[in-house]
Structure 1
Amino acid sequence: MPDISTALTPAQVDSFVTDGFVRIDDAFSRQTAEQARAILWRDTGCDPDDPSTWTKPVIRLGGYADAPFREAANTPPLHSAYDQLVGEGRWLAPQGLGTFPIRFPSKEAPGDDGWHIDASYMLPTDDPNDFFSIRANIKTKGRALLMLFLFSDVEEDDAPTRIRVGSHMDMARFLLPYGEDGATMHQMIAGNFADTEKCPQALATGPAGTVYLCHPFLVHAAQPNRGSGVKFMAQPPLMPAHGFDPALPPSPVQIAIRKACNLNI
């Protein structure tokens, strides 16, 4: 049996710091993916064997705590990788997975394919009814990692998530002046997500069971499904156990921010 005490090689950890993400193959089993898909198909209200029932480009489903989802998020290789990227004892074991944007082949625009980062919290003074008031700050409050769990095989035509390689560095510099309060989505959109169009683009492809662990500041986007199959993916956060602790060695998440901003956080 392979040694999973360290799931990621030093080169992969370095790549995470530089590029903002790392791909883990066979992070969970195809059997687990199949079991989870059966639950998700049921809740879409669509028939997996009848494409005439696939009438929307995307159906969003919430979080799931059923056994297949808990198992997918808590395999030994993933726990090891969480430790390596966030720090041992600094993250909370996922109790499930979500949300699930289920993407169907369609000529209709999905309407949710803009570039963004996943923000995490609001201030008491923010409007809870305004989605774009949600915030991110330089200390990645409320989010240790962005994670992409592939529950179906995803090739280039199957709506793989688009990733701007290295964009987490630009976003760190953008967020720095906003301090502890952080920037709202309104402000990040106005800043064109730190003008990250210059970044090279990667696609989050892979067979079912593949997981991408991403820096919380990584700029990414959905895209239409131009293939013939349905894409099943979860995009949950890994939740932090606590905020950055200057008494602890910096994690790779922190090291990336330090390098981008020349900070000691």
Structure 2
Amino acid sequence: MTETLDIEAFMSDGYLKLEQVVPREVGDEARQLLWRQLGLSPQDPDGWSEPVRWAVDPDGAGPFRELLTSPALAAALDRICGVGGWLPRGTLGNIPVRFPVPPTEDDRGWHIDANTPLPDGSWTVTGRPHTMLLLTLLSDVGPHDAPTRIRVGSHRDVARALGPDPVDFAEMGALVDRVSAGRDVAYATGAPGDMYLLHPFTAHAADVHRGTTPRFMAQSPVMLTSPLNPASSSPLGCVWED
């Protein structure tokens, strides 16, 4: 990745696309490992019987390590979170694979991810997040291939709606949807090796798969070294500016 980071766009839109953080061959290799983990094949569509299957990066090794340790990713996180403001991940974590078969349930509601740990080890949503979101494309994703939908600029709407207290998960989706409903929608499309960084308050949602090729994409929380708050001087703190 050689382009200049558009931090102003991140602050305005609530997300930033990083193209070819690693060569696409690295993403291709990771995808082949995940096919084997799932026990499925790209050459055998008859085996694609579920709309979503969950894979996982088991150990952060091989192509997964190349993705996680990319200098381009580190440079982008340094610019957005501040140097020393984020913690490196050991694995990509959970990787939902969306197949071009009819959905059996609606898991495509607008939301933000759990962002605050509780003393019992569970997670909740608050307006003082401990994480931001990293999306890693491991397959070609076009507009029909179930790209993650992103409400542009919605991080500002959500920031105004949340405070330091936890929000019940049953209410969170409806709240996020309501306050950000008027925003334009962007789509997380791209090639293997592309990544998206989302502000922790940016509303996003899955989409129906209307294409023909399964979509592989990791969704990984990046831990901040301290909770985000209105005093933050990093680009993440832009949501509290007038």
Determine if the TM-score, normalized by the shorter chain, exceeds 0.5.
yes
Kept in 1, the 8 Å contact 2:116–2:126? The answer is no
Which string of whole-angstrom CA distances, capped at 9 and with x for unpartnered residues, describes residues 36-79 of structure 1?
A: 11111011121221100111111012343222112112211111
2:32 to 33, 38, 48: 38
Report if aligned partners of 2:25, 2:192 keep a CA contact under 8 Å in 1: no
**Distance (Å, rounded) in 2 between the aligned partners of 1:244 and 1:118:** 15
- 1:125-144 matches, cutoff 5 A: 134-141=123-130, 143=131
Q: Deviations over 1:70-119 (max 9, x none)?
A: 21122111110000000101111121102111011112345321111111
Q: Who is 2:182 aligned against?
A: 198
Q: Please report how far the alpha carbon of residue 188 of structure 1 lies from its aligned counterpart in structure 2 after TM superposition.
A: 1.6
Q: Secondary structure at the match of 2:196?
A: strand
The question of whether the paired residues in 1 share the 8 Å contact of 2:138 and 2:216 is answered with yes
Give 1:121 deviation, angstroms.
3.5
Q: How does 1:160-199 map to 2 (within 5 A)?
A: 160-176=147-163, 179=164, 181-199=165-183
- When residues 171 and 245 of structure 1 are mapped into structure 2, their CA distance, relative to the original with a 3 A threshold, is closer
Distance (Å, rounded) in 2 between the aligned partners of 1:240 and 1:123: 15
Q: 1:143-198: per-residue Cα shift (whole Å, max 9, x none)?
A: 0x21111000100110000110111111101112xx2x332322323425442110
Matching of residues 108-127 of structure 1 within 5 Å: 108-109=103-104, 111-124=106-119
- 1:246, CA displacement in angstroms? 8.8
Query: Is residue 2:213 matched to residue 1:229?
Result: yes
Counterparts in 2 of 1:118 and 1:53: CA distance versus 1, 3 Å: same
Distance 1:221 1:245, change over 3 A: closer
Verify the 8 A CA contact 1:161 1:204 in the aligned structure 2: yes
- 5+ unaligned residues in a row in structure 2: which ranges? none
The answer as to 2:238 corresponding to 1:251 is: no
- 1:40-119 pair list within 5 angstroms: 40-64=34-58, 65-109=60-104, 111-119=106-114
* Identity score, percent: 38
Amino acid at match of 2:124: R
User: In the alignment, residue 139 of structure 2 is paired with which amino acid?
Assistant: S
Answer yes or no: is the 8 Å Cα contact 2:112–2:173 preserved in 1: no
AA in 2 matched with 1:253: L
Please give the secondary structure, in 2, of the residue aligned with 1:191. helix
Tell me what 2:7 maps to. 13
Aligned residues: CA RMSD: 2.2
> Does the CA contact (< 8 Å) of 2:128 and 2:229 recur in 1?
no
Q: Do the aligned partners of residues 96 and 234 (structure 1) sit closer, same or farther apart at CA in structure 2, a change above 3 Å counting?
A: same
What TM-score results when the alignment is normalised by the length of structure 2? 0.91
Equivalent-residue separation in structure 2 for 1:183 and 1:190 (angstroms): 11
Q: TM-score, normalised by structure 1?
A: 0.83
Say whether the 8 Å CA contact 1:99–1:234 is kept in structure 2: yes
Aligned with 2:16 (options 16, 22, 32): 22
**Any idea what the Cα deviations from partners look like across 1:130-154, whole Å, max 9, x if unmatched?**
xxxx42222212x0x2111100010
Count residues with an aligned counterpart: 241
Q: Contact between 1:171 and 1:194, CA under 8 Å: does it hold in 2? A: no
Instruction: Give the direction of change, closer, same or farther, for the CA distance of 1:215–1:74 in structure 2 (3 Å limit).
Output: same
> For the structure 1 residues 219 and 244, does the alpha-carbon distance in structure 2 shift closer, same or farther, using more than 3 Å as the test?
closer
